[in-house]
Structure 1
Amino acid sequence: MNKLLILLALSFWQMPVSAQHDTLRQLSLTEFYGMVRNHHPIAKQAKLILERGEVVVSQARGAFDPKLVSEYQTKQFQGKDYYDVWDSYVKVPTVLNVDLKAGYERNSGQFLNPEHTVPSDGLYYAGVSVPLGQGLIHNSRNINLKKGMAEQQNLTSQANAVYNNLLLDANYVYWNWFETYQKMKVAEESLDLISERYDGIRESVINGDKAAIDSVESLIQVQTWRNELNKSRLNYQNAALQMENFVWDSTRIFASHPDTVWQKQEVLVVDEYVNFAISNHPDLNAMQADLLTLELDRKLAAENIKPVLNLNYNFLMASGNSSDESMAGLSNNYKGGFEFSFPLLIRKERAKLKQAKIKLEEGGLKLTSKSRMVTNKVFQSYGKIIVLLEMLEEQRRIVENYQRLLEGERTKFQNGESSVFLVNSRENKKIAAEMKLVNLEAEYGRAIGMVNWSSGYFASQLENMQAQRGSQ
């Protein structure tokens, strides 16, 4: 009676149908990177940070823009024309802190200050202001320009860091998507084979060639892997949803699938990654930009210890003068002077200089420590790649050997020399080995992403994109 009930239950058992279709579009890792670079909001944010750096430098260069100035003053009181004073000039700052000036002055009035007395047609003048002491070599204008360039470098490093992290996250979700998809395919293919064997055992039980208990054990195997398939489909669905976070164009991840054939990726030698990291890693570049700013502060503090000595000379020429008179005016018609100041104790300036030196030394130590951490991270990531390659080759051989054991056990079972239990055991181990192989393949892809991230290689692609955009 029990045997009859088992047979009736087995006869009504329905097997799942695979939901995968061959019409899905294949999405490679390179193509996925391109989609992230071109459409992801964070990638666009990184480009905006680069533009901010350009604006900062442009703002600092504004300190050297020529300036047109016109000043006019007049006074009328109780019917008297006290004075009309009008002075217009162009002032041109230079990087060397030498200011050039040229203008026209025209003044009149009953009570005009004698200092402002000029010919009736006005007075032309051209002059120069030269700091011979403080500010000749380093001054606030050229220091601020260099600080602007350092800030641009800092902002570029920030943009590269944002982009570097974005592509690392994209790499991780892609290989997670790959891993869940491949495991789902392994589960589907395994369930198909297990179901086919179950159908054969059920037929044998119905025909009386096999014991009913064999069909029950085979059915448990089917049920187990049916649950595993549902679990793997759920994992794949969640991985695809994570992929959707990185796709901002018309591509639909659920209508795509990753590369189904794993391939070894090309990598550089470890020394090239290390050298690239030392020269291009965003964190190191940002710290170097900070050090440059601190060095500029030190130079300005050292410059401020010098005395202030500014010389001013303005050549004067009345409107309509002849060239001979103009040349004679170089020594006779001029306005000049100098300005001198120097604090006797210079305690404030010396303290600023010492503080700037201390900050610079602290920054250098931080950069040295960070450089060591970055290079060690590169070595660590690269070492993982080498080990994973060895493990992958060994795992493939393990899968092949498990397949041989399974085929041998199936042959023995068909000949009546084995049991369903042993076949299921061999099969489970073979499937577990295949799952492990898929995990190692995905882990290798993530390790490649990690070495690209740790060396800053991902970030260089943003600069290449900006260079290509600038050349267009």
Structure 2
Amino acid sequence: MGTSLRSIPSPSFAMTGGGKIFSLLTFIFSLFTPSARAQDSLRFFSFDEFQELVLTNHPVARQAALLPEIARAELLEVRGLFDPKFVAYFDRKGFKGIDYYNRFDTYLRVPTWFGADLKAGYEQNTGGRLLAEESPRLAYAGLTMPLAQNLLIDARRATLRQARLAQGLAEAERLGLLNKVLLDAAKTYWDWYLSDQQAQLAEEGFQLADQRYRAVAQRTKIGDLAAVDSIEARITRQDRLVQAQQAELERQNARLVLSNFLWSASGDPLELPSGSRPGPMAFRTVADSTLQRLLTQARSRHPDLLKVDFKLRQLSVEERFRRNQLLPQFNVNFNFLNEPKVLQDNVIGNAFLVNNHKFGAEFILPLFLRKERGKLQQVRFKQTQILLDQRLIRREIGTDVQTAFNEIQNLAQQLATQEGIVRDQDQLTRAERRKFEMGESSLFLVNARESKFLELRYKLESIKAKYEKALAGLAFAAGGRV
């Protein structure tokens, strides 16, 4: 059972920065105050307040906020490939009373950004069966350097660049998740708004029918109207009572569905109280010039396109690395050597002399390069796939934006037309009531005019809700808020 939202204050979320956060915290705090729980008056919960609460506390929004953190943690892990390493090992062999060897080696290895590995260390060897090239004590310092394959790019540098690009990919995924949850939340809010308007209209219709039934019943008693008129008025009253009860049920269920999006800062589910109401609708128009701006925004900022772009850039790094793997391996290593006792005699003249060194080279060339060529082809095929996907996504996004924009323009026209129809029907209904009061009309016509008036008003509110949903759909199609 969730915590009940007992107060819906009205902070302004038009502000930014600390003011917005303070207002939101004040709003959340007010949900749990005892005085707020004691209030029974109507509470208005605006769409902006609802949206801000979803962005701040909804589990999906919190999960989305973790994606960049995970990407940063992965980048930290990849940077570990360049961490210096201190290594020490000891190896001893003794057999049948013979001390064969005692080998001790300790060194520091430092990977570098230009591909070489620096290494410096000290070894000490004792025993009766040492190899000829093993010195009792030896200090060394040098490097291993690739001169062909892995010179310009290697696995660790490629992995690091891809991890950096993954930061942007994670941010795009975060935006995509937020946009999706905001779209679902907006649709749910305006469903609640429509159910609330329907319940109000049904209650209004019932009250009108109840008042008319009482008036008709009174006139029937004095013989001013026939008994059948009283029966008809009672049937209308009961029918509208059923409609009001059904509308109230739908409003309660819509309120419960909306509560699925409401969470506290501590992660506890919240529920709207029964007396809460949607805030007044602030009608927002969309100018014709907005379409081009939204199309431009979608091409540059839509999360789906951003994700594809970062994937292409990651594959570009992979493709460069795979091309480099076609080169032969040619690695050289060089170490300066020195025995510590020489340092004691003449530090400047004898330490790490040129003739005290160790040098080596390695050359490897696979004759067919089938493994390397296969890897490169796979990467290029993936690039082609992503490029085709990018074109498709760009086309679909443009179509979605255009479709959503057309729907908004059409709904705006419907809204203006429907408002005129409601005004005209209101005049007809009022006129029919006056005629009935003067005995020039029937109860059937009054009920018909009134029912049609309520129906048209509900249709007007339905168009308003569709318009707001279409605005949310346009924002989602464009990859952000309108």
Instruction: Give the TM-score range, shorter chain.
Output: 0.7 to 0.9
1:368-447 equivalences under 5 Å are: 368-447=391-470
Q: Assess, with a 3 A threshold, how the Cα gap between structure 1 residues 84 and 284 changes in structure 2: closer, same or farther.
A: same
Letter of the 2:276 counterpart: H
More displaced stretch, 213-222 vs 66-75: 213-222
In the alignment, which residue of structure 2 is the partner of 1:317? 338
**Structure 2 unaligned runs (5+)?**
1-38
The worse-fitting range, judged by mean Cα deviation, of 440-449 and 176-185 is 440-449
Distance 1:287 1:352 in 2: 21
Separation in structure 1 between the aligned mates of residue 280 and residue 97 of structure 2, nearest angstrom: 99
If the length of structure 1 is used for normalisation, what is the TM-score? 0.86
Conservation of the 8 A alpha-carbon contact between 1:181 and 1:257: no
**Residue number in structure 1 paired with 2:141:** 126
CA contact (8 A) 1:182 1:260 kept: no
Structure with the larger helix share: 1
Q: 1:362 to 1:213 in 2, by over 3 A?
A: same
Counterparts of 2:172 and 2:315 in 1: how far apart (Å)?
A: 17
Supply the distance in 2 between the matched residues of 1:364 and 1:244 (Cα, whole angstroms). Answer: 41
CA contact (8 A) 1:95 1:141 kept: no
Counterpart position of 2:302:
281
How far off is 1:349 after superposition?
2.1
Q: TM-score, normalised by structure 2?
A: 0.84
2:48 maps to which residue? 30
Matches within 5 A, 1:248-263: 248-249=263-264, 251-263=270-282
How far off is 1:365 after superposition? 0.8
1:233 corresponds in structure 2 to 248
Where 1:393 maps in the other structure, the secondary structure is: helix
- Contact preservation (8 Å) 1:56, 1:148: yes
Partners in 1 of 2:116 and 2:397 — Cα distance? Answer: 44
Q: Distance in 1 between matches of 2:42 and 2:112?
A: 64
Deviations 1:392-411 (A, max 9, x none): 22211211111111111112
Q: Does 1:217 align with 2:232?
A: yes
Note the C-alpha offset of 1:61. 1.2
| 1:62 lines up with 2:80 in the alignment | yes
User: Superposition pairs for residues 57-456 of structure 1, below 5 Å?
Assistant: 57-118=75-136, 122-249=137-264, 251-265=270-284, 269-319=290-340, 320=343, 322-325=346-349, 329-456=352-479
The 5 Å alignment of 1:4-19 reads none
CA distance in 2, matches of 1:342, 1:217: 99
Give the whole-Å Cα distance in 2 for the aligned partners of 1:361 and 1:93: 34
**Deviations 1:228-274, CA, capped at 9 Å, x for gaps:** 11111111111112112222337431335333532113768223322
8 A contact 2:305–2:394 mirrored in 1: yes
Tell me by how many angstroms 1:317 deviates. 3.1
Worse overlay, 272-281 or 408-417 = 272-281
419-428 vs 133-142, which moves further: 419-428
- What amino acid is the match of 1:52? I
The residue identity in structure 1 corresponding to 2:298 is: A
Whole-Å separation in 2 of the counterparts to 1:172 and 1:285: 25
Query: Does 2:477 correspond to 1:457?
Result: no
Change (3 A) 1:131 1:200: same
Q: Which has the larger displacement, 435-444 or 412-421?
A: 412-421
Residues paired across the two proteins, number: 435
Q: 1:357 to 1:330 in 2, by over 3 A?
A: farther
Look up the SS of the partner of 2:326 in the other structure: coil
* More displaced stretch, 267-276 vs 125-134: 267-276
Matched letter for residue 133 of structure 2: E
**AA aligned opposite 2:44:** Q
Q: Secondary structure at the match of 2:102?
A: strand
Q: Which amino acid letter does the alignment assign opposite residue 103 of structure 1? A: G
Which whole-Å deviations, capped at 9, do the CAs of 1:42-73 have from their partners, x for residues lacking one? 22222333332222212111111111111222
Indicate the larger mover: 244-253 or 401-410. 244-253
Code of the aligned partner of 2:438: N
**Aligned partners of 1:360 and 1:388: how far apart in 2?**
42
CA distance in 2, matches of 1:324, 1:70: 28
Structure 1 residues 64 and 291 mapped into 2: Cα distance closer, same or farther (>3 Å)?
A: same
Whether the 8 Å CA contact 2:57–2:263 is kept in 1: the answer is yes
In 2, the alpha carbon distance for the partners of 1:256 and 1:266 equals 30
Q: d(CA) in 1 for partners of 2:279 and 2:301?
A: 34
Contact 2:220 2:226 in 1 (8 A): yes
Deviation of residue 90 (structure 1)? 0.8
SS in 2 for 1:97: coil
1:48 to 43, 59, 66: 66
Per-residue CA deviations over 1:136-161 (Å, capped at 9, x if unaligned) read 11211011122333444444444433
Give the 3 Å change call, closer, same or farther, for CA 266–115 of structure 1 in structure 2.
farther
User: Residue 148 of structure 2 aligns to a residue in which SS?
Assistant: coil
Contact 2:42 2:277 in 1 (8 A): no
Aligned residues of 2:256 and 2:271 also touching (Cα < 8 A): no
Amino acid at match of 2:462: N
Identify the range of structure 1 (172-181 vs 142-151) with the bigger mean alpha-carbon deviation. Answer: 142-151
- Secondary structure at 1:255 match in 2: coil
Q: Distance in 2 between matches of 1:313 and 1:427?
A: 98
Distance 1:167 1:317 in 2: 68
Given residue 43 of structure 1, which amino acid in structure 2 is its aligned partner? A
The change in CA–CA distance for 1:323 and 1:273 in structure 2 (over 3 A counts) is farther
